[in-house]
Amino acid sequence: MSSGNGSEPRPTDEELSAMSREELLRLGGKLDGVEIVNYPDPWPVKGTKAEKRAERAVALWFLIAALAGAAFFAALIWWPWQFEPPGNQDGYFWYSLYTPVLGVTLGVSVLALAIGVLLYSKRFIPAELAVQQRTDNMGEGSAEVDRKTFVAHLADAGERSTIGRRSLIKRSAGLGAGVLGLGTVALPLAGFIENPWKDANGKDSLAHTGWQPAFPGEVVYLRRHTGDFGEVSLVRPEDLDAGAMETVYPFRESERDDHDALVHALKRSDNPVMLIRLRPDDAAKVVKRKGQEDFNYGDYYAYTKICSHVGCPTSLYEQQTNRILCPCHQSQFDALQYAKPVFGPATRALAQLPITVHSDGYLIARHDFIEPIGPGFWERKS
């Protein structure tokens, strides 16, 4: 508060201590060159039915904010968020509603809380009419009289707003703001609620990809994508010419008649693998990674298509130089040196999938990758 324009006499400390809040309020206005013309109480008669209706209307909006905030929090934690293919009518319907439900519940909670605050301001805060003269403070600090009158203004505003005696509104506003706050705090922390190691060998474990056998001894075939999500086309060694590359996906016989599982295998982000058949002269030059000497089947090598830089698809293969290329950020990997990066920002080799041939003549995965694929992982040390 300014120190005034000097036209009003300043009371002594004893006089200030003896003043009522109303007197301090008027004095503060005069020292600032402010004349309060009108400061009517919106409810001069307390406890009327109209006042109670207005109070309930405000509390209703705060209650709506609380309910919507609670719904947002519940949906964030318990709504089925995992992908379901369109063919799964029930699962896909609920999955497709996940993002809209989050948006609607959070939006309603914020909107209802704002409406409640605005409605309270219009219904219960006095509409002050005042005239203030323009003054120049000259950069001086606040004097004791300014501090006293400023505190009186705050106290008066609090009393005239009547919030102190409206327990219903205070409780509902606190509930609405609290639940909304809980939801906004939970939003960035939701990913930490589920324990990724709860089932380390489960199909949804972060430690494994879709190439992980569901049970010991399960055969996981290499399957090509023909454009028909429901068609199963397995890969034989003779299907690839020397120097060729093909993208393959995991397939299990238990999924042959399960259209949703067949679609999911083609869409799961960590499933795509490059199957490369090296030319005989090039295969003789291969440098194998320690511990992965038997991961190939003859001239056939399989590497993840997930780039170790930022997870883009390394979908290009140049057979003359045996380079695997990531078109996004130009990383290049040498297929003759366990897909080691030789150019670009990538710093780690592509994970290699161990493969062999099943007794029926089709290529299969011996087991899952022995290291995490992609650019980053919780327990990766490099």
Name the percent of the chain in helix, strand, coil, to the closest 5: 40, 15, 45
Same domain membership, residue 92 and residue 227: no
- The H or E element that residue 131 is part of is strand 129-132
Question: What does the pLDDT read at residue 19?
Answer: 84
29 domain-assigned? no
300 domain-assigned? yes
The amino acid occupying position 347 is T
255 phi and psi, to 5 degrees? -105, 0
Same domain membership, residue 357 and residue 297: yes
Same domain membership, residue 97 and residue 63: yes
Residue corresponding to tokens 């699962």? 91
Same domain membership, residue 151 and residue 128: no
pLDDT band with cut points at 50, 70 and 90 for residue 10: confident
- The H or E element that residue 234 is part of is strand 233-234
Same domain membership, residue 75 and residue 165: no
Q: What is the pTM of this model?
A: 0.59
Enumerate the β-bridge partners of residue 352: 303
pLDDT in tens, 345-354: 998 999 999 9
Question: What does the pLDDT read at residue 350?
Answer: 95
375 domain-assigned? no
**DSSP character at residue 165:** G
Burial of 199 (0-12, 13-18, 19+ CB in 10 A): exposed
On the question of pLDDT at 206 being above 90, the answer is no
How many domains does the chain contain in total? 3
Where do the DSSP E strands lie in 119-201?
Answer: 129-132
Final residue of a structural domain among 99, 132, 165: 132
Give the pLDDT mean for 28-42: 77
Same domain membership, residue 286 and residue 336: yes
199 domain-assigned? no
Same domain membership, residue 271 and residue 172: no
Question: What does the pLDDT read at residue 264?
Answer: 86
Question: What does the pLDDT read at residue 136?
Answer: 57
Cα–Cα distance measured from residue 330 to residue 335, given in angstroms and rounded to the nearest whole number: 15
Same domain membership, residue 357 and residue 227: yes
Cα–Cα distance measured from residue 372 to residue 338, given in angstroms and rounded to the nearest whole number: 15
Residue corresponding to tokens 């003779």? 238
44 domain-assigned? no
Q: Higher model confidence: residue 175 or residue 276?
A: 276
Cα–Cα distance measured from residue 205 to residue 342, given in angstroms and rounded to the nearest whole number: 31
Domain of residue 74: give its range.
Answer: 49-132
Question: What does the pLDDT read at residue 83?
Answer: 73
pLDDT in tens, 118-145: 999 898 888 777 777 665 555 555 667 6
